[in-house]
Amino acid sequence: MTRNSLILIAAAGSLALLAGAFAFQYFGGLIPCVLCLYQRWPHAAAVLIGVLALRSKGATLPYLGMLAALTTAAIGVFHVGVEQTWWEGLATCTVDTLTGISGADLLNTDITVGAPVRCDAIPWQMIGISMAGWNAIASFGLAAIWLMAARKKA
């Protein structure tokens, strides 16, 4: 496989994971918690790095793509630990959705006030693995692909 095809696969993988996250949010109605949102940013960076890496030579950008994939994988592992109560989450892991809502807003039936989104709740899982877990698994795989791309000659 060529360097550019590996870069395309890795960047497309991050794009697919981002698209899946947005699909779960906007079509599935699963509102993301803070850690879920944090896991998205490195994927967005990896997509941008992939576009730039296709136009350049050298290993620097693929290594940065690998770092982005490892970052989101690490956040995913941390999130799984919070979900499984292996450790505590961040202070922002429970969101106060009433911040900025007045008493009049609470009585107004035209305004929807959502429930707090907790990082330790698992809203969806497949074969016992949560979305954060799947993100970690996929992202470690993407990091390996980025590494292969970095080691290939341009």
pLDDT, tens digit, for every residue of 54-108? 999 989 999 999 999 999 999 999 999 999 888 887 777 765 555 556 666 656 6
Percentage of the chain modeled with pLDDT above 70: 84
Give the residue with greater pLDDT, 126 vs 137. 137
125: helix, strand or coil? strand
Expressed as residue numbers, the domain containing 55 is 3-89+121-151
Could you count the other beta carbons within 10 Å of the beta carbon of residue 28?
12
Domain count, the chain: 1
Residue 102 lies in a domain: no
Q: Which helix (H) or strand (E) holds 130?
A: strand 129-130
Cα 42 to Cα 19: distance, rounded to the nearest angstrom: 14
Token readout for 7 is 């870069």
Residue 57 lies in a domain: yes
Residue 112 lies in a domain: no
Residue 103 lies in a domain: no
pTM above the 0.85 mark? no
What is the average per-residue pLDDT within 129-135?
Answer: 92
CATH of the domain at 19: 1.20.1550
